[in-house]
A and B are shown apart, each in its own frame.
Chain A
Amino acid sequence: MSGLNRTALYDLHLELGAKMVPFAGYEMPVQYPLGVLKEHLHCRAAAGLFDVSHMGQVILRAKSGDNVAAALALECLVPVDLLGLGENRQRYGFFTNETGGVLDDLMIANRRDHLFLVVNAACKDADIAHLKAGLSDRCDIVVLTDRALLALQGPLAEQALARLMPEAKAMRFMDVAILNWQGAELWLSRSGYTGEDGYEVSVPGAKAVDLARALLAMDEVAPIGLGARDSLRLEAGLCLYGSDIDETTSPVEAGLTWAIQKARRDGGARPGGFPGEARIFSDLADGVHRKRVGLKPEGRAPMRAGTQLFADQTSRDAIGMITSGGFGPTIEGPMSMGYVDLPQDVAGSVIYAELRGKRLPVKTVTLPFTPTRFKR
């Protein structure tokens, strides 16, 4: 796989028997010998360790040194209340474009004298260019290429990580902290993308293997590949950028309005001022024509991205499309999400998916498929 980047854990993945695949320009483990199903179930029952070092880690620091200035600057690119983001707290957000679509979703942490961003691997070059184009007059934008990113997820993640750094235990969902471990500075957040409690840990690249080995040595921790990461996030009802949200979906259609705090809405303290505000405000005020919904196939066949949805068995025109789909190991059955025209988005509606020439019933359901277990 020439021309692909490797993370600091590449050799460890091979040693663990991972099957490596190209993903967003990186060679990444899609699964380990345990296999996707058992990896998924292990993460829900104990703790799973993920290498997410392919994601972009960016420091945003105001040239004035005042973090309020950095927050106000970034508010020009994301419809998120960043002035209201407390120190050592993190928020989910997204970059919007001029038509109110989503350029990427990201995590934003307030680390007292700067903001720390984590962006998707596939979008990171575009995101960094976007940040520089929009904010470089006011902010220094530093892309960190010498740090790995690990995620430890699952009900036993706290117990496992606290064995190495007891301070991790006191963190709540979306807290961030800087902790020292064996002389290395670790940047923790109590978050993740599996629906489970857990942490993401930014670690200097040179220390990443040591940290991964220390965690993997514990009985409750197993390495988890991208295959199970996808089924875990889908069960948790979380969007995959590029599939469930993209430049054509508004956050309102995507059901992400919870991430647009009051301060940034019409009538708020700092309404608008982000790309695409006209569309997003009109979507909020007037409603939308389609919505992202959970979809539960009534049979056993998985329905994957691209599957067309219909109101009934015979109608000619589709009313929507599946954007993510597969098999949910925890729910022991197929699961999908996608966009459907109103009013079929109402939970409990039965619609039809066209699969291999047959129309099969699918029920629209409220996400997530499995209850989230964040430590709030």
Chain B
Amino acid sequence: MKFTEEHEWLLPEGDLIVVGITAHAATQLGDLVFIELPEAGTTVSKDEDIVVIESVKAASDIMAPLDGEIVEINEALIDNPTLVNEDPMGAAWFFKMKPANPSDIDELLDEDAYNALIA
């Protein structure tokens, strides 16, 4: 699993990458009440805002961690945003993407580097 400084996790799954937000981010945000996900088939660029999440406190944007195409989104989150608070690293994945350059993920943070970032 890899991480971004924006508190996303990325897990390779075949030639796709599953993306979600970290437990640390979910705790910081508080209870989520709304999620707007991009449509499957959308081409995205790294650092482009593609997801809107709102907690009880405020709205935030989630950026695309890599260049690529959104292949699948987690529809369950739309009806049940608090799933992100309950299981951020598992059932509450946000989307699956097909990276434009599969090797780009290697440049992201590993778990130790991410843990050091949030320590």
Q: A368: CB under 8 A from chain B?
A: no
**A356-B52 contact in complex given A36-B30, A334-B34, C-beta closer than 8 Å:** yes
In the complex, how many angstroms separate the beta carbon of A197 from the nearest chain B beta carbon? 24
Cβ–Cβ contact A327 & B54, under 8 A: yes
B67 in the interface, Cβ–Cβ < 8 Å? no
B52-65 near A? 1/0 per residue, CB < 8 Å: 10101111000000
Cα–Cα distance between A227 and B57 once the two chains are bound (Å):
7
Q: Mostly helix, strand, loop or mixed at chain A's interface?
A: mixed
Residues of B within 8 A of A (CB): 30-31, 33-34, 36, 52, 54, 56-59, 78, 82, 85
Show 30 residue pairs from A and B whose CB-CB distance is below 8 angstroms, ordered by the A residue.
A30-B57, A31-B30, A35-B30, A35-B56, A35-B85, A36-B30, A36-B31, A36-B57, A37-B31, A37-B56, A37-B82, A38-B31, A227-B30, A227-B56, A231-B56, A300-B34, A301-B34, A301-B36, A301-B52, A302-B33, A302-B34, A302-B54, A304-B58, A304-B59, A326-B33, A327-B33, A327-B34, A327-B54, A327-B56, A356-B52
Chain A contact residues, CB within 8 Å of chain B: 30-31, 35-38, 227, 231, 300-302, 304, 326-327, 334, 356
How near does chain A come to B20, taking the closest CB pair, in angstroms? 19
A35 touches B31 (CB 8 A): yes
Contact B56 A301 (CB under 8 A): no
Give Cα A30–Cα B52 distance, bound, in whole angstroms.
23
Known: A37-B33, A37-B56. 16 other contacts (CB 8 A): A30-B57, A31-B30, A35-B85, A36-B57, A37-B82, A38-B31, A300-B34, A300-B78, A301-B34, A301-B36, A302-B33, A304-B58, A327-B33, A327-B54, A327-B56, A356-B52
Q: How far is the CB of B59 from chain A (nearest CB, A)?
A: 7
Q: What CA separation (Å) do A295 and B59 show in the bound complex?
A: 19
Chain B residues with CB below 8 A from A227, complex form: 30, 56-57
